[in-house]
Structure 1
Amino acid sequence: MHGPIGPMEPAALLRLAEAIDLKGKGGAGFPFARKLRAVLESCERQDLGAVVVVNATEGEPASWKDKVLLTRAPHLILDGAALAAFALDAEEIVIGVADDDVGRPSLTEALQERRMPVPTTIVTVPHRFISGEGGALVNGIKRPAAHPARHEEALQRLRRRRSAHAAVERRDVLPARRRRPDRPVRVRRARHRRRAGHRAAHSHRVGQAPRRCGVRRRHPAAGDPRPVRGAARPGILMGGYHGKWITAAAAERAEVSRKGLTAVGGTLGAGIIVPLGADTCPLGEAAQVVRYLAGESAGQCGPCKMGLPDLARSVDLAVSGSAPVELVRAAAGDVKGRGACSHPDGTARFALSAMEVFADDLRLHATGEGCGKRVKGMMGLPGAPDANPQKLTLDWSRCDGHGLCAHVVPDFIRLDGNGYPAFPPTPVPTWLREGALKAVKVCPELALRLVRAE
């Protein structure tokens, strides 16, 4: 459609990236020109060759923008990789894709239809939320387990493997050649259905928002003003699972930009908008996501291994009315800024914003009666990963408050003020199932049971 692509000198590519203000679309919004300049200087200073790493993993269930590009416009992705390879005089291009097979076939076919400037290979990494983190992707190229790592450590390992230095994300590079600073961008809308096995509770649309576009114009459901029992309006998640909730009232006046969303207490993040219907329990939906994020951690540092399960448990307790919101704030404070990657920070941000935006619903839940709405699975989470969900039950006529169960699985069971076990009525997370089973076995009064969660 656009004709062949040719080499572009580093200085020309830098000027173009700066002229069009090209930024990453993964969430951080880091300027591509600064990233490219840093890589060029580092390669020259250390006399190292570069490897262009194309990040096409997109592990977040709520986002399908990368999958649309992979399936509908794979040559744009390859154009961006080729441009970066030309400018960096790279030795190799490595494309990381998820093992869900959504984008690999079309990308493979596109590679067969063209000639790349350097050897180009496709590497498959596990389809997990954390697989798209920069350090995790570099790790996944070297070995099957894609775990996040601080970028310096990951790059050191990659350098030892193939004398490489630079990991350049595809979402930063791909638009550079096909957009000129002297021509306006024509915005088209693209619809894309989820594959079988991914639950879609409402219409799913992928598109590019024009400048100064309002949130309600981008997604009309986000401005739904209908009142909800006890709470003013339903909420809207901006930025994805590492984003923040805002009220529908805020969506009425917010525009889709980093500055515009920050002004109303939100964040653009990865550009994901998830509105909730008036008949959906927002706290129940948020609790599901926090549990999912806790289970998706690499479990290689304390904040992820211990802190996120504790945060998920705190959210469950607050939503069930068994604990005050201060417990969530304390658990979030324990993980913020302490992880090997940004996963704990993003999860804490998501949980805290839910507690703030849905404070009226939280007060209704604290009465024990709840908000009167059902959890309908509106957050785009994958189909039930646990084929046999189980929860703990307690026979109060047998329990004598020995407290052994809380010592066995402290991440899920705590002792209340009277020394008796307290735990949320939600299913036991899969990563704590073994501990819960052990707690059942050590109970001297046989008061604890693990039963199927309906």
Structure 2
Amino acid sequence: MNEALPDVPEVRFIGLPRLTSGFDLVERLDLPMHFKVHGPLEPMSGGQLSGLAEAISLKGRGGAGFPFAKKLRAVAESAIRKGILPVVVVNGSEDEPASRKDTVLINRAPHLILDGALLTAKALGARTLIIGVTRDSTQSSMEAALAERGLNNRPGSALRARVQRNPVRMVTGESSALIRSANGGPPQPTGRKVRASDRGVGGAPTLLSNAETFAQLGIAARIGPDQYRSAGLNDEPGTIMLTISGAVARPLVIETPTGVPLRHVLQLAGSPPVPQGVLTGGYHGKWLDGVAAQQAIISRASLDAAGGTLGAGAIMPISQQTCPLGEALRVAQWLAAESARQCGPCHLGLPAAALGLEHILNGDGPTTLAAVKQIANTVKQRGACKHPDGSAMFLESTIKAFTDDLASHVLGDGCGRPVEGVLPLVKNSAVPGGPPGQDAADRSPNPRKIYVDWTLCRRHGLCAKIVPEVLGLGPDGFPTVAEASVPRSAEASALRAVRRCPELALRIEDETMRAPVRVNQLAAIRRTWRNIGALRQRR
């Protein structure tokens, strides 16, 4: 029930293997075996590499699908304009519980990823290469691969290369979070809309792309664009890595050419012949109903047209015997707990949406359903990263895909089916900004709470602007809660809200001592008297 996927599930392929070549020979391709399987690799100029990426229509395989050639040119132009050597970053975080394709590549074919990354670094003239990972297995495999190539992070090296280890959390794989951690900060999104190609690691133009993307580049540089395009669709050539889990006989990572029917891929993993629904793109993805899943093929365009998404290549069918809303609720609750707790729409909106979905399952009526839809719509494009957007998309897709079940729960006594818990999840264990491996046992709850004194509050609304992740405003302009726990990440903001309240209507107390926390009360009193004096003068 909701078991986590292993780091390296069984690997299969359809057609001729490319990225997975040699997997039938050894568990991990070290450098000598890598060259035996794939052959030598010649360096390429920036123009040659850009032309190759364009010729094979290479797009990022981390979910966004941004054209690699455009990203390469943007970084090169920015580096020339600023006169700064660029940085290359491999994103191997893969903190999506239902995806293991990048983890498989890092563990079993790390040198294929390094091939593409080193080609890119050489073409750009980069002197720094960083590989972001979040697991023990990927860290040890990539560190071993760097050592096998004689790469290190010592000053004076022609190329300084290192592995950046971050905690396992959904948000640490976001580009700005990875760059922020590489700069020595917490592995959390910055919230600032700054392109990495303009300002990334150390303020230098940075090319950041997904691990599979670099591996695809390593293959294409060897076999050339014509042979690369001999597999797959004309508009989406080559192979693609997928992770199949959910209601299957065995979870698999599959390398397949684009254009293969989705139903064939599901059959390989032992999916039900006619699944009730198929979640595509992972937990920031969309559901396909059983009919659409039977007709779709493996490609971005086909899945988009069917109402799904390719995303990071995670595919999860569910059977006819499970409650789809119950399955979705487990995911929604997990997504809410994965918030970095930096912004109100995410930290407050996602738990509210999950709670609303839970109420619907328990028989609440159309009013609750309308509220859930409104919350999902409200959180979009208001977060510090794309986590609330992806979570809202998952929730909206759930509501759209399972209308009959939704009606049974909203208008009747429920669908009558159990929740099997087939969608893989992991414990929300890592602490945002904490060291790798820090788990929930180390994250003791903050005993401090913020309180609103209703006799003093005059609805200035300043508190909600300073600490939106804790306090929100209702339609009447007053805070929506009388008391609220203060997350440790928001403690400084909460103290600032108390100090700046013009009516002294806020206080923070430590629940273990039941005593107010001092927050420079003298300064607050002086501000209040200044406000009173100003009011008297205006009168």
Q: Smaller-chain TM-score range?
A: 0.7 to 0.9
Match of 2:304 among 258, 262, 284: 262
Q: 1:200 & 1:282 partners in 2: Cα distance?
A: 12
Kindly provide the amino acid, as one letter, of the partner of residue 60 in structure 1.
E
Structure 1 residue 307 corresponds to structure 2 residue 342: no
Instruction: Indicate how the Cα distance of structure 1 residues 188 and 10 shifts in structure 2: closer, same or farther if over 3 A, else same.
Output: closer
Kindly provide the amino acid, as one letter, of the partner of residue 165 in structure 1.
P
- Deviation at residue 6 of structure 1 after TM alignment: 3.2
Q: 1:157 & 1:23 partners in 2: Cα distance?
A: 20
Q: What residue in structure 1 maps to residue 251 of structure 2?
A: 204
Q: 2:124 & 2:59 partners in 1: Cα distance?
A: 18
Structure 1 residue 377 corresponds to structure 2 residue 413: no
SS of 2:208's partner is coil
Q: What residue in structure 1 maps to residue 22 of structure 2?
A: none
Structure 1 residue 164 corresponds to structure 2 residue 199: no
What residue ranges of structure 1 are gaps of 5+ in the alignment?
A: 226-232, 388-409, 412-429, 432-437, 442-454
Instruction: Indicate how the Cα distance of structure 1 residues 89 and 105 shifts in structure 2: closer, same or farther if over 3 A, else same.
Output: same
CA contact (8 A) 1:235 1:246 kept: yes
SS of 2:207's partner is coil
Q: 2:241 & 2:193 partners in 1: Cα distance?
A: 37
- Deviation at residue 323 of structure 1 after TM alignment: 4.0
Instruction: Indicate how the Cα distance of structure 1 residues 142 and 382 shifts in structure 2: closer, same or farther if over 3 A, else same.
Output: same
- Deviation at residue 87 of structure 1 after TM alignment: 1.0
CA contact (8 A) 2:334 2:428 kept: no
Q: What residue in structure 1 maps to residue 104 of structure 2?
A: 68
Q: 2:67 & 2:56 partners in 1: Cα distance?
A: 10
SS of 1:380's partner is coil
CA contact (8 A) 1:294 1:312 kept: yes
Instruction: Indicate how the Cα distance of structure 1 residues 77 and 89 shifts in structure 2: closer, same or farther if over 3 A, else same.
Output: same
CA contact (8 A) 1:201 1:380 kept: no
Q: 1:308 & 1:2 partners in 2: Cα distance?
A: 45
What residue ranges of structure 2 are gaps of 5+ in the alignment?
A: 1-36, 152-157, 233-237, 430-439, 442-468, 471-486, 489-508, 513-539
CA contact (8 A) 2:343 2:384 kept: yes
Instruction: Indicate how the Cα distance of structure 1 residues 314 and 237 shifts in structure 2: closer, same or farther if over 3 A, else same.
Output: same
Instruction: Indicate how the Cα distance of structure 1 residues 192 and 362 shifts in structure 2: closer, same or farther if over 3 A, else same.
Output: closer
- Deviation at residue 368 of structure 1 after TM alignment: 5.5
For 1:1-400, what aligned pairs fall within 5 Å after superposition? Answer: 1-98=37-134, 100-116=135-151, 118-143=159-184, 145-150=186-191, 152-153=193-194, 155=196, 162-171=202-211, 172-179=213-220, 180-183=224-227, 184-185=230-231, 202-220=249-267, 224-225=273-274, 234-324=276-366, 325-367=369-411, 369-383=413-427
- Deviation at residue 125 of structure 1 after TM alignment: 0.5
Instruction: Indicate how the Cα distance of structure 1 residues 81 and 283 shifts in structure 2: closer, same or farther if over 3 A, else same.
Output: same
Aligned residues: 384
Kindly provide the amino acid, as one letter, of the partner of residue 317 in structure 1.
H
- Deviation at residue 274 of structure 1 after TM alignment: 0.2
Q: 1:248 & 1:343 partners in 2: Cα distance?
A: 27
Kindly provide the amino acid, as one letter, of the partner of residue 289 in structure 1.
V
- Deviation at residue 260 of structure 1 after TM alignment: 0.8
- Deviation at residue 322 of structure 1 after TM alignment: 1.6
CA contact (8 A) 1:223 1:249 kept: no
CA contact (8 A) 1:136 1:147 kept: yes
Instruction: Indicate how the Cα distance of structure 1 residues 95 and 21 shifts in structure 2: closer, same or farther if over 3 A, else same.
Output: same
Q: 2:241 & 2:54 partners in 1: Cα distance?
A: 27
- Deviation at residue 333 of structure 1 after TM alignment: 1.1
SS of 1:182's partner is helix
- Deviation at residue 167 of structure 1 after TM alignment: 3.4
SS of 1:177's partner is helix
Greater shift after overlay, 347-356 or 335-344? 335-344
Q: 2:109 & 2:231 partners in 1: Cα distance?
A: 17
Q: 1:127 & 1:20 partners in 2: Cα distance?
A: 33
Q: For residues 350-379 of structure 1, what are the alpha-carbon distances to aligned partners after superposition, in whole Å with 9 as ceiling and x for unaligned? A: 001111111111122225532222222211
SS of 2:420's partner is coil
Q: 1:352 & 1:193 partners in 2: Cα distance?
A: 22
- Deviation at residue 144 of structure 1 after TM alignment: 5.4
- Deviation at residue 145 of structure 1 after TM alignment: 2.4
- Deviation at residue 147 of structure 1 after TM alignment: 0.8
TM-score by length of 2: 0.65
Instruction: Indicate how the Cα distance of structure 1 residues 355 and 173 shifts in structure 2: closer, same or farther if over 3 A, else same.
Output: same
CA contact (8 A) 2:241 2:313 kept: no
CA contact (8 A) 1:320 1:368 kept: no
